[in-house]
Structure 1
């Protein structure tokens, strides 16, 4: 069965940076997005397109006045092409993708403090800082109420650079990671 990686964490925890540091054969899974804001790293759709593909939806969430979707056909295509890296900030999304029967998923939790999210979001020019911090709060609340999810790897991105985190992910993939839960 094909393998993918789920990078879970709050905004500005390093999901983009770690994915970039992973390099080939790892590739960002471009979720479908409907709505305003950043377009880079997404497959943009309209509301009508989203309605037409409802049966293909594995997971859908709304944040930052937009809708984000993980679709079955997109995951299947990404798994056929390489090792997809899916970015998530909700435990329900991790659970839905892990249970969808689409490959085997290594779950990696990226952590950083709220003030670090603030500083990183400001440094990268996010114009919706209040929404990013609200999302950090929601992620923290999600973790506090959902400790049942096992993690194959937990990385503090304040202590580890993106390159170090990527090395940790690659090393974990070389082990029998499916039996090592953090």
Structure 2
């Protein structure tokens, strides 16, 4: 296994992936992995690409995981991961267990898998509170995430945090500690 360390945050919409990542970034050494996006809509927080660039990555076997949601294609790519690891500890956001599994298998590293969870009512409240125009779609995706967890009930996350009960600061500290403990265990 590589001596590179990374964090995978899995959870439904508005479970706190961005907020916990910001808290991790404040600890130092962490940075959110910026996925490729092929499509339209929000561009902030993505490396935008076109269909030809995606085909080139696929032809080079540089796509670790891709999914389609909200009418767009989102990609985790090998060159992007290599860049992220060279800059520190990447934090990758995912909403599908298959994506977590593909990343674990397709890019070996000291990954810490973290399930961020909150009740559907909290997702709804947070989504409305931040002014999302597509709260109904996000609630539908919350249902899909719950169903995904049920379908993959044999998959075990390294850490499970209920973001309606733990602050982003405390969640970041717990993640940082778990990652440090894992690195220490590998060094022994």
Distance in 2 (CA, whole Å) between partners of 1:11 and 1:39 is: 17
The answer to whether the Cα contact below 8 Å between 2:64 and 2:107 also exists between their aligned partners in 1 is no
Alignment of 1:5-154 (within 5 A): 5-23=7-25, 24-54=28-58, 55-154=61-160
Distance in 2 (CA, whole Å) between partners of 1:53 and 1:107 is: 25
Q: Which moved more, 1:10-19 or 1:49-58?
A: 49-58
The CA RMSD over aligned residues, in Å, is 1.5
Q: Which residue of 2 aligns with 1:159?
A: 165
CA shift, 1:177, in A, is 7.1
Q: Unaligned stretches of 5+ in structure 1?
A: none
Count matched residues: 179
Q: Which runs of 4+ in 1 moved over 2 A?
A: 176-179
What's the TM-score once normalised by structure 1's chain length?
Answer: 0.94
What's the TM-score once normalised by structure 2's chain length?
Answer: 0.91
CA shift, 1:48, in A, is 2.0
Q: Unaligned stretches of 5+ in structure 2?
A: none
